[in-house]
């Protein structure tokens, strides 16, 4: 069964493999298949679920809410996010203004069919809204009982520190950061992780398998397998393109296969276990289009990779690892005022 870890300095325990439905529910995967994947997650002990209002333009939240409505709410940890626009995309439908946060939390709760979310996350940093306004609005969602804890996603170290100061002043718990992190993408290690440790946050990481590249199924010089993310025109192909364009990187990834074999793991399980070796990582988000993927991924929970094999992984990937901390803001919107 999947193991639990504490999230930040809080008393909240979440499963170290968390089920996420970005690019799947309401989009790539039909509802029956989505339900089968969520049920498989529950069967292997995953009780933490991550979504966002913007995923499939609210459909992902709605699908997840329908699937989970028969489960005991107290036994689940449900996370969602706010920032990006949904619906008609009006003037106030984007960002972290008080208006957008208060309207968005109500919409998310309705779609998720729950009175509260365990974790409400700022999906990006809003340069156009005073941070004080954002944090006060988050504090009010907590005091109203609509969210238990607050988190952020893809924020820089300085932004995390500033938000942490305000959270303490407002007596709310800012406990998590949700960044991209994998063997190939380590931009959080030099700045975001130390800042998070200092402020009492831990990481819930997305794309731990680098959009599927670290499964080893994308072979150098060969076409992408039929039905893979690289062939999905709804968004998956665009997200994975930067990895697949680098043939040397794909060759380096193939060097990980003997290491996985030595541990009795698949390449995907090795990638998940690798991110969980970082003490500041509370959970790795997994997605799935088939139940067997969930069951396979669950086997990465509790795996300890010996130090010598961690070194061999670094040697195999070499200079293909991206580490520049400035890339934390790569996908962040620029100030618009």
How many structural domains are present in the chain? 1
**Sign (positive or negative) of CA dihedral 330, 55, 67, 150:** positive
Give the DSSP H/E element, type plus range, for residue 205: strand 202-205
In a domain, 243, yes or no: no
pLDDT at 81: 98
In a domain, 54, yes or no: yes
CATH number at residue 195: 3.20.20.100
pLDDT at 232: 60
pLDDT at 26: 56
pLDDT at 222: 74
Q: What integer best gives the mean pLDDT of the chain?
A: 93
Q: Decide if 45 contacts 1 (C-beta within 8 A).
A: yes
- pLDDT digits 0-9 by tens, 244-263: 889 999 999 999 999 999 99
Q: Which of 108, 93, 165, 168 is nearest to 141 (CA)?
A: 108
Domain containing 299: what range?
4-212+276-303
In a domain, 288, yes or no: yes
Q: Which of 72-81, 210-219, 273-282 has the lowest mean pLDDT?
A: 210-219
Q: Which of 103, 125, 139 is nearest to 177 (CA)?
A: 125
> Rounded to the nearest 5 degrees, what angle is found at the Cα of 283, between the Cα atoms of 12 and 279?
90
For residue 31, name the pLDDT band (cuts at 50, 70, 90). Answer: confident
In a domain, 245, yes or no: no
Average pLDDT over residues 51-70: 95
Does pLDDT of 234 surpass 80?
no
Residues marked active site are found at: 55
In a domain, 219, yes or no: no
Percentage of the chain modeled with pLDDT above 70: 93
In a domain, 55, yes or no: yes
In a domain, 201, yes or no: yes
């Amino acid at each position: 069964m999947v193991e639990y870890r504490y999230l930040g300095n809080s008393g909240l325990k979440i499963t170290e493999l968390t089920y996420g439905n970005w690019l799947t529910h309401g989009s790539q995967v039909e509802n029956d298949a989505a339900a089968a994947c969520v049920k498989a997650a529950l069967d292997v002990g995953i009780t933490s679920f991550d979504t966002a209002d913007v995923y499939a333009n609210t459909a992902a939240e709605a699908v997840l809410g329908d699937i989970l409505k028969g489960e005991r709410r107290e036994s689940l940890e449900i996370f969602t996010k706010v920032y990006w626009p949904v619906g008609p995309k009006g003037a106030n439908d984007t960002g972290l203004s008080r208006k957008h946060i208060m309207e968005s939390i109500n919409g998310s709760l309705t779609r998720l069919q729950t009175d509260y979310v365990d974790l409400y996350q700022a999906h990006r940093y809003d340069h156009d809204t005073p941070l004080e306004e954002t944090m006060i609005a988050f504090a009010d969602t907590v005091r109203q009982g609509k969210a238990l804890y607050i988190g952020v996603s893809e924020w820089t170290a300085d932004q995390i520190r500033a938000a942490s100061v305000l959270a303490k002043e407002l007596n709310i718990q800012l406990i998590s950061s949700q960044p991209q992190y994998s063997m190939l993408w380590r931009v959080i290690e030099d700045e975001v992780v130390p800042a998070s440790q200092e402020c009492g946050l831990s990481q819930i990481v997305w794309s731990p398998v680098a959009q599927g590249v670290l499964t080893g199924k994308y072979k150098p010089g060969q076409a992408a397998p039929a039905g893979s993310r690289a062939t999905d025109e709804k968004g998956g192909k665009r997200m994975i393109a930067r990895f697949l364009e680098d043939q040397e990187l794909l060759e380096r990834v193939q060097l990980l296969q003997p290491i996985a074999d030595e541990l009795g793991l698949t390449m995907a399980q090795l990638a998940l276990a690798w991110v969980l070796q970082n003490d500041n990582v509370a959970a790795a988000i997994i997605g799935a289009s088939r139940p067997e993927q969930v069951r396979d991924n669950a086997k990465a929970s509790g795996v300890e990779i010996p130090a010598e094999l961690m070194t061999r992984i670094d040697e195999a990937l070499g200079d293909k690892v991206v580490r520049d901390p400035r890339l934390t803001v790569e996908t962040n919107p620029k100030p618009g005022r």
